[in-house]
Structure 1
Amino acid sequence: MQTIFKSRNIIQAGWLFILFFISCTGSQRKLFGSRSPHQDYADKLSRANLDETALGKSWINASAMALANPLSVKLPYSEAGYFESGAARAAGLRFSARRGDLLLIEISPRPANAFRVFVDLLQPAEGKEPRLLSSADTLNHKIQYEVEKDSDFLLRIQPQLLESGSYTLSISTGPSLGFPVANSANPKIGSFWGDARDAGARSHEGIDIFGARKTPLLAAADGIISSVSENRLGGKVIFLRPSKKSYTLYYAHLDSQLVSEGQQIRLGDTIGLLGNTGNARTTAPHLHFGIYSSGAIDPLPFIDRTRPVADKIQADGTSSALLKTANKAKIYSAPDKTSQTILLPETNTIITPIAATGTWYKIVLPDGRRGFIATNAVRSTAQPITTEQLKSDMRLFDRPDTTAGIKTQIPNGTSIDVL
């Protein structure tokens, strides 16, 4: 037994040396290349022929499965989890966001300087490999991504081989543009995209932001003033073309225009004063704010500052202790009781928690399926259901499968706890 233990230590040390060498090479390509740190690491495993080993194959397969079978969540979302060094695992999440949202993704690994985690944001493509959009820097572990169209997104989290540690993940959204009315007026949005106009003859192609007359109107982005004019509907109007964007911002009903066509402006510059010119002359002073890109689009996600926050995590997601299901427990496809029910497990089914979010555990079932279960629907395995004495020799398998590997042989007469 002592010889076996020493051999395992030598093998483990050899793996750690190889993986340390891999993680320390190719830093220039990470900094200046176009590939993600995750792709670079996978390439290094391949060049070292580690992709043909059992552990290397498991890491690559886990990476692919995280994208092929992600768990669906709604934003904002946060979770706390733990990756064990003995298992090659990856986490995959799928969520949606609106055009104009700024995705804010941050992961905090612990230990911060010794636990290396890859975080990739991708976009699913029908019948194709997901398209890589952005990757977190391996030092600050943050992603900011401006959503260019209403879409679903994939997030993959995966540590390097043989590394263990806990993490906290946060996915939220914010506005991708600055707010166009100065805060001094305590501005309020009083009319939204799609509201009826002219007794239902047309719909509102923008939002109305109300405030005190002559409140400063601000540039919502760096850019150039493409037009300053006056018309019957909008009154005094300004068109602003943000730098490196495919859309134009429209400011209408201004009391005064303080810029000229072709002028370069910066985010937060005052470009006009709030008023009620044009067809708004009988209404309270307000800014009609619109965005155009081959037609009008809803501007609210671009400037909405009132964003919800994720539920506080109320369970320990960093513990790998096994749990068992309570009576009438349900396992769901998302942390929401209105989502699809994956399984109605038998009471005392053993499950493995891999993360926690709000009042939910993200779990793995014995057959490998993943899902969510409410924290009040599980029990600790510290207290066994019963204790039995074996009446014959019994094999102990490494997983619930009679074709699996045999860990040990338990002799007749041994007392065992049934969890």
Structure 2
Amino acid sequence: MSLRQLLILVLLSAIMASCSKRGPLAIFQKLSPHDAYAQKLKDAGLSNSALGAAWLKQAGQTIANPLNINIPYKETGYFPDERASGTALRFDARRGQKLRISITKKPISNFNIYLDLFSENLPAAPKLAASADTTGAVMEFEVKESGKYILRLQPELLRSGEYTLTITTGPSLSFPVSASGKPHIGSFWGDGRDEGGRKHEGVDIFAPKHTPAIAAANGTVTSVTANKLGGNVVFMHPDNEDYTLYYAHLDVQIAKPGQTVSIGDTLGLVGNTGNARTTPPHLHFGIYTNGGAIDPLPFVNREVKEPAAISASLKNLSDTVRIAARTAKLYNIPSEKGLAVSTFTQNTAMTVEAATDSWYKVSLPDGQHGYISSRSVTATDNIRSLTLKADQPLYNTPDRASAASKKVLAAGEKVNLLATYRNYLLVKSNGDTGWIAE
């Protein structure tokens, strides 16, 4: 049995033994799958080990240093088992959207990844919004507050594998006009009204007259009335929500006050009553909270965009690569429209953590990370041979102040140059790869 296999056996045995115990967190509150695993590490006494401490530290460092993305988003990455690893992604989400977060993985079994979704809560720490692990189903989350969200992925200790993450958004409500009328949205939130005197507080959904206007959620009809602007209107309150739906310009009202309705029940028929008398038939659909009207489009937008297919080669996942071009830029998002945070010269070494679209998510030896065009890098094959002029320690990282020396290379020895980083050279000698000072 190898040392690594022995470590895995000891770790798993310790965690299994801890399952019969309940740590202080588990006693007083329900834990997320990630925190439950962390508690098992602590209960097993592994938080004081180098391996367990590194995993717990990685959890905090990852969430504190997320990379920026735009959704929809898709990436394929690899988590190695020789070190504690994880990744975090920050993105914008709007109230009313439903996030759908899914992961496929290889291998399917014995490779569990914890997913934790946080709302950014500056200047305070991020607030946990939802959590899951990959033994369960797809994570779905209804966005209750517009803002920035952070998704953290972290695998269990001593587990390695490939994963594909997909994040998409869809509406949290059903569409409020029957598909029989082939409805389409023709006017949006914020459009000018009354020659610029006011702003549109909803969306207008055009459909033939008498097309059913239907319940977009399960709930209760709170009011059936008429007013000057909206004409014949219906208000309904969705179950377990803090807002009210507003249906206006109906030709006929069918729902009754106090009626309990289900998704798809007819509330009225599309018309052009009220101030819509001179327009084609349509439903004015609005959403009202205690703070006033909010944009209903994210709640009902049927346009679900799919992320771009991954065209970057997956053969470089978890490998060290080098810059092939004369220079290449590292971006804060996988797009040339993003901010170029660094520029690197030819042969600079970096590790590929994941691929998305035509980009690689990479980390540098100093811990810096970001996105680089996959076309800018190549594998660390032999650049040329070097003959050492003096004895050289072979370091595991390009930083002699903190690096460990793997061995000493003798003067006169020939090595293969693979890549560079600052004043260090990545070389290979008799099967050993490491860093030497220039």
Question: Structure 1, residues 178-226: CA drift from partner, whole Å, max 9, x if none?
Answer: 0001111111111111111111111111111101110111100000000
Deviation at 1:120, TM superposition (A): 0.4
Structure 1 runs of 4+ aligned residues shifted over 3 Å read: 5-13, 19-26
- Relative to structure 1, is the Cα distance of residues 304 and 314 closer, same or farther in structure 2, using a 3 angstrom cutoff? same
Matched ranges for 1:3-402 at <5 A? 10-19=6-15, 21=17, 34-293=30-289, 294-317=291-314, 319-325=317-323, 326-382=325-381, 384-402=382-400
Would the aligned equivalents of 1:80 and 1:316 in 2 still touch at CA under 8 Å? no
Give the distance between the partners of 1:41 and 1:247, measured in 2 at CA: 37
Question: Structure 1, residues 51-92: CA drift from partner, whole Å, max 9, x if none?
Answer: 111111111111111111100111111100000000101101
Moved more, 387-396 or 98-107: 387-396
Question: Structure 1, residues 318-374: CA drift from partner, whole Å, max 9, x if none?
Answer: 622211012120111111112222211121001100000000000010111111000
Give the distance between the partners of 2:71 and 2:60, measured in 1 at CA: 23
- Size of the alignment, in residue pairs? 411
Would the aligned equivalents of 1:254 and 1:273 in 2 still touch at CA under 8 Å? yes
- Relative to structure 1, is the Cα distance of residues 41 and 241 closer, same or farther in structure 2, using a 3 angstrom cutoff? same
Residue ranges of structure 1 left out of the alignment (5+ in a row)? none
Deviation at 1:33, TM superposition (A): 6.3
| Counterpart residue identity of residue 284, structure 1 | P
Would the aligned equivalents of 1:109 and 1:117 in 2 still touch at CA under 8 Å? no
Would the aligned equivalents of 1:97 and 1:147 in 2 still touch at CA under 8 Å? yes
Give the distance between the partners of 2:97 and 2:43, measured in 1 at CA: 39
| Counterpart residue identity of residue 400, structure 1 | P
Deviation at 1:18, TM superposition (A): 2.8
Would the aligned equivalents of 1:233 and 1:278 in 2 still touch at CA under 8 Å? yes
| Counterpart residue identity of residue 258, structure 2 | G
Question: Structure 1, residues 117-155: CA drift from partner, whole Å, max 9, x if none?
Answer: 100001122232221111124423521111112110011
Deviation at 1:172, TM superposition (A): 1.1
| Counterpart residue identity of residue 320, structure 1 | S
Give the distance between the partners of 1:412 and 1:401, measured in 2 at CA: 21
Partner secondary structure for residue 38 of structure 1 = helix
**Cα-Cα RMSD:** 2.0
Give the distance between the partners of 1:9 and 1:202, measured in 2 at CA: 69
Give the distance between the partners of 1:143 and 1:24, measured in 2 at CA: 28
Question: Structure 1, residues 257-297: CA drift from partner, whole Å, max 9, x if none?
Answer: 11100000001111111111111111111000000002111
Moved more, 8-17 or 76-85: 8-17
Would the aligned equivalents of 2:112 and 2:133 in 1 still touch at CA under 8 Å? no
Partner secondary structure for residue 376 of structure 1 = helix
- Relative to structure 1, is the Cα distance of residues 226 and 324 closer, same or farther in structure 2, using a 3 angstrom cutoff? same
Would the aligned equivalents of 1:19 and 1:161 in 2 still touch at CA under 8 Å? no
TM-score, reference length from structure 1 = 0.94
TM-score, reference length from structure 2 = 0.90
Deviation at 1:15, TM superposition (A): 3.2
Partner secondary structure for residue 13 of structure 2 = helix
Would the aligned equivalents of 1:16 and 1:162 in 2 still touch at CA under 8 Å? no
Would the aligned equivalents of 1:317 and 1:354 in 2 still touch at CA under 8 Å? no
Deviation at 1:20, TM superposition (A): 5.4
Deviation at 1:14, TM superposition (A): 2.6
Moved more, 203-212 or 314-323: 314-323
Partner secondary structure for residue 58 of structure 2 = helix
